[in-house]
């Protein structure tokens, strides 16, 4: 399977709003921990190791511009 990198979430603004609302009132440490849990939950849902590896690639820091 190929990692989906085209728009795939209906109501993207609503999704973004909900995602950030999760962090309301959290400290930096709590937010980091929430993000880690969230990645693990989503990773489990995806399940496919190959797709997950493609996601790791997509999320790596972009190369520095020359």
* Of residues 14 and 50, the one with the C-beta less far from other proteins: 14
**Interaction between residue 58 and other proteins (CB under 8 A):** yes
The three state secondary structure string of the chain is CCCCCCCCCCCHHHHHHHHHHCCCCCCHHHHHHHHHHHHHHHHHHHCCHHHHHHHHHHHCCCCCCC
Can you say whether the dihedral through the CA atoms of 52, 53, 57, 60 is positive or negative? positive
**Interaction between residue 23 and other proteins (CB under 8 A):** yes
**Interaction between residue 65 and other proteins (CB under 8 A):** yes
Stretch that binds other proteins, among 26-34, 36-44, 46-54 (CB under 8 A): 26-34
Which residues are near other proteins by CB under 8 A? 4-9, 12-13, 15-17, 19-20, 23-24, 26, 28, 31, 58-59, 61-62, 65
């Amino acid at each position: 399977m190929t990692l989906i990198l085209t728009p795939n979430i209906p109501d993207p603004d609503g999704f973004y709003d909900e995602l950030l609302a999760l962090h309301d009132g959290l400290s930096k440490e709590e937010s980091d921990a929430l993000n880690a849990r969230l990645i693990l939950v989503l990773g489990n849902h995806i399940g496919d190791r190959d797709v997950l590896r493609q996601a790791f690639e997509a999320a790596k820091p972009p190369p520095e511009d020359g």
